[in-house]
Amino acid sequence: MNQQPNLYREFFPYDEVPKIVFDDSYYKRNLPEDIWITDTTFRDGQQSMSTFTKKQIVTLFDYMHKIDNGAGVIRQTEFFLYNPHDRHAVEACRDRGYDFPQITSWIRATKNDFELVKSMEISETGILMSCSDYHIFHKMGWDRDTAMKNYLEILEAALASGVKPRCHFEDITRADIHGFVLPLAKKINELGNQAGVKVKIRSCDTLGLGLPYNGAALPRSVPGIISLLQSEAGFASDQLEWHGHNDYHAAVTNSTTAWLYGCAAISTTLLGIGERTGNTPLDGMLVEYMQLKGPSTLNLHYLSELADYFEKEMHYTISVKHPYIGIDFNSTKAGIHADGILKNEEVYNSFNTEKILNRPILIQVNEYSGVAGVAAWINCYFKLKGDDKVKKTDEGVRKIKDAIDVQYKSGRASGMTNEELRALVVDFLPQVCDID
């Protein structure tokens, strides 16, 4: 085995941004019948924030359960076990008695940690196995032979302890897939088969370098990594998991691509929290799941509650542009967009956000909203339907718009609040308030 590190300088020149290279190796799409989501909020996500309290962990665990709503889509979530605080949180979540999400762990690769997992009767644990030469040579100071030997010893210890191992192939999108990853994966699969255990592999796109394009060259090709772990290393879909980061704005796309090419499980965090730019967001993958698999019993109404909890109880700032949960997610300020919504909300809303997310369309009125924006705000705010809806040609709407114009001509810069707009409706369209 090569004892000199291969840092793929043709892909990662370091003094330039990484290169997207194609070798025109194509793989067949292979979406598994059963796909699901795992969560690492209490492990990878928590490392990027202040330590969660036990109450916060249990509350977030409850939200995952409520959102999953018995579907088994949010199938697992992983915990640290290092200290009493972590273990007490695990016990409190376990006491809930939920079928989903199932509790797994993440440990250091030591015998004592395996015994800890066993003593807490946790059936599955993640084990770190860094696989790029960046990590093997430059972080751990090993060569590939040493890494292979150490990882297989770790795996044998896990199997001997009666714990189901989940091997975390760290930095796989900078690793030598044919020269190290696949040989290691084959030996892992052999040891698992001998022990009668379906060992899992989590492919970790540690720096978010994965590419979703069929025909992209390894090691960045998501279709290639997932397809080869099946065809050459012999892993079934339910033994494969993808763990993405969002450094290149591609966490959701790469995760969906992993599903499409045969990976059953996708690792996420709540709201995408995590180091640097964060992990693959759970909310994003729930919607991707529904796009691929159709309606389910998932209850996405709880996403807004979850977002409120993060902001109010955990002091976490959510971008107003965050899809599905940000304040501006399905709001509009532009008059031309409001005019389209006024005619038919499907013009600028791609699905029924009120029904699926409990997030009705939000109209924000400012100096650019025009009479269409004012009329659309009234209809949305007062939930007017059919013949009760006001039109942009109504005299009362024109008067409200004139009153707004006066404020902006006087130097106002901020948007109109709902309270201010309601007061104007009371003055100029009181019959609407009677309908409300």
Whether 347 has a pLDDT exceeding 60, the answer reads yes
> Taking Cα atoms as reference points, which of 303, 298, 354 lies closest to residue 326?
303
Domains and CATH numbers, the chain: 36-313 (3.20.20.70), 331-435 (no CATH)
Bridge pairing between strands 164-170 and 36-39: unpaired
Considering the entire predicted model, what is its pTM?
0.93
pLDDT exceeding 70 applies to what percent of the chain?
A: 99
> Taking Cα atoms as reference points, which of 272, 273, 290 lies closest to residue 281?
272
CB 223 within 8 A of CB 185: no
Average pLDDT in the 128-147 region?
96
d(C-alpha 374, C-alpha 380), whole Å: 10
- Sole residue written with tokens 């084959």: 186
> Taking Cα atoms as reference points, which of 286, 345, 262 lies closest to residue 74?
286
Which pLDDT band holds residue 385 (cuts at 50, 70, 90)?
confident
Which two three-digit tokens encode residue 317? 């700032």
Write the DSSP string, 108-130: -SSHHHHHHHHHTT--EEEEEEE
CB 349 within 8 A of CB 330: yes
- pLDDT of the residue at 334: 75
Whether 238 has a pLDDT exceeding 60, the answer reads yes
| Helix pair 370-381, 418-428: axis angle to 10 deg | 100
Q: Which residue would you say has higher pLDDT here, 360 or 2?
A: 360
d(C-alpha 318, C-alpha 49), whole Å: 14
- pLDDT of the residue at 435: 62
- pLDDT of the residue at 196: 97
Which pLDDT band holds residue 185 (cuts at 50, 70, 90)?
very high
Whether 55 has a pLDDT exceeding 80, the answer reads yes
Q: Which residue would you say has higher pLDDT here, 143 or 115?
A: 143
CB 45 within 8 A of CB 251: no
d(C-alpha 320, C-alpha 246), whole Å: 18
Whether 436 has a pLDDT exceeding 60, the answer reads no
- pLDDT of the residue at 2: 58
Model pLDDT for residues 217-231, shown as the tens digit of each residue: 999 999 999 999 999
- pLDDT of the residue at 266: 98
Dihedral sign from CA coordinates of 275, 116, 237, 77: negative
Taking the alpha carbons at both ends of the chain, their separation in whole angstroms is 75
Q: Which residue would you say has higher pLDDT here, 107 or 181?
A: 181
Amino acid at 112: N
Bridge pairing between strands 102-107 and 74-80: parallel
- pLDDT of the residue at 433: 83
- pLDDT of the residue at 363: 87
- pLDDT of the residue at 224: 98
Average pLDDT in the 225-248 region?
98
Q: Which region among 48-62, 65-79, 379-393 has the lowest average model confidence (pLDDT)?
A: 379-393
Model pLDDT for residues 8-43, shown as the tens digit of each residue: 999 999 999 999 999 999 999 999 999 999 999 999
Which pLDDT band holds residue 1 (cuts at 50, 70, 90)?
low
- pLDDT of the residue at 241: 98
d(C-alpha 194, C-alpha 75), whole Å: 27
